[in-house]
Amino acid sequence: MSAKIVTITSGKGGVGKTTAVANIAVALATNGAKVCCIDGDIGLRNLDVIMGLENRIVYDIVDVIEGRCRLRQAMIRDKRLPELFLIPAAQTRDKTAVSPSDMVRLADELRGEVDWVLIDSPAGIERGFRNTIAPADDILIITNPEVSAVRDADRVIGLIEAEEKNKPSLIINRINPVMIKAHDMLSAEDVLDLLAIPLIGIVPEDENVIVSANRGSPIVLNSKSIAGMAFRNIAQRLEGQEVPYLDLDNHGGLWNRIQRIAGKN
């Protein structure tokens, strides 16, 4: 077993990093893979509540790094999927408690344990971001079709290019087809054209995302949700499958147009 380490990052906060990590992890684990998520946002722990595992935490990432527990002890088993685990962030420490080389060591130890390691990055481009980027084999950039989120995503892509990492892939989250049709929201093609990196997913805005966060039950577990379907598709693309993009505007042309633009990059 040699896990692939995937980090999800965005620059800007509140665009859906934690939701994406939880949902892609659940989707991969549902497909039969052994998955471990790491909450890299030290001091602002959140992945545990999104996954509904907040009451099971005993040890956290800083406990592992500082040797107060073994790796296995800090891996909280999901209550629904026995092959899904979470290593929570420390809540009472800050990002300086962990260094990029600590993260590389931790991820390398996990490589032998699971198929996938998904790392949730904090907002910003400082130490916490560097910590989560350091061990990544692949990086997913998540953004919203908003000027501030796209600008920050571009900055983060530039920093990742400078680190000579693999070229990151893009998730465009919270697409609202009605606003796009009214020319009041950047379309997925606009965002893709501006950021010019390969696409891996388009997730429509879906109020069920808030409902599932309230319940601590990731939306991919809801078979009727379109956002859930979009996250399941991202998981399949990560596994190397070719999955067509959802037709969000019911016009049938979106996929063709995206393919045309994606082909240019």
Partner 1 sequence: MAACGTESNGLLERTRMGNLIDRVSGRKRSAISAKERLQLVLIHDRTDLTQTALEELKDDLIAVIARHVDIDPDAVRINVERNGREQRLVADIPLKGVTHHRGG
Residue 129: CB minimum distance to partner 1, A: 17
Task: Tell me whether residue 34 or residue 151 sits nearer to partner 1 (CB atom).
Answer: 151
Q: Are 7 and 115 in contact (CB under 8 A)?
A: no
Task: Tell me whether residue 149 or residue 230 sits nearer to partner 1 (CB atom).
Answer: 149
Those residues whose C-beta lies under 8 Å from the C-beta of residue 164, and which sit 6 or more positions away, are none
Q: How far apart are CA 199 and CA 181, in angstroms?
A: 21
- By CB under 8 A, the residues from 150 to 179 that bind partner 1 are 150-151, 154-155, 157-158, 161
Task: Tell me whether residue 68 or residue 181 sits nearer to partner 1 (CB atom).
Answer: 181
When asked if residue 185 is in the footprint of partner 1 (CB under 8 A), the reply is yes
When asked if residue 54 is in the footprint of partner 1 (CB under 8 A), the reply is no
Instruction: Provide long-range contacts, Cβ within 8 A and 24+ apart, for 102-105.
Output: 102/65, 102/131, 103/40, 103/131, 103/132, 103/134, 103/135, 104/134, 104/135
When asked if residue 196 is in the footprint of partner 1 (CB under 8 A), the reply is yes
Task: Tell me whether residue 114 or residue 141 sits nearer to partner 1 (CB atom).
Answer: 141
When asked if residue 56 is in the footprint of partner 1 (CB under 8 A), the reply is no
Q: Which two tokens stand for residue 93?
A: 């420490």
Q: How far apart are CA 8 and CA 117, in angstroms?
A: 11
Task: Tell me whether residue 56 or residue 165 sits nearer to partner 1 (CB atom).
Answer: 165
Chain-centre distance for alpha carbon 162: 21
Q: How far apart are CA 33 and CA 27, in angstroms?
A: 9
Parallel/antiparallel/unpaired status of strands 76-77 and 84-87: antiparallel
When asked if residue 182 is in the footprint of partner 1 (CB under 8 A), the reply is yes
When asked if residue 113 is in the footprint of partner 1 (CB under 8 A), the reply is no
Query: Counting beta carbons within 10 angstroms of the beta carbon of residue 216, is it exposed (0 to 12), middle (13 to 18) or buried (19 or more)?
Result: middle
Residue type, 166: N
Residue 143: CB minimum distance to partner 1, A: 11
When asked if residue 264 is in the footprint of partner 1 (CB under 8 A), the reply is yes
Q: How far apart are CA 262 and CA 265, in angstroms?
A: 6
When asked if residue 58 is in the footprint of partner 1 (CB under 8 A), the reply is no
Size of the site for partner 1 (CB under 8 A): 28
Q: Which listed range, 44-52, 71-79, 116-124, 190-198, lies at the site for partner 1 (CB under 8 A)?
A: 190-198
Task: Tell me whether residue 62 or residue 180 sits nearer to partner 1 (CB atom).
Answer: 180
Q: Which residues bind partner 1 (CB under 8 A)?
A: 146-147, 150-151, 154-155, 157-158, 161, 180, 182-187, 189-190, 193-197, 257, 260-261, 264-265
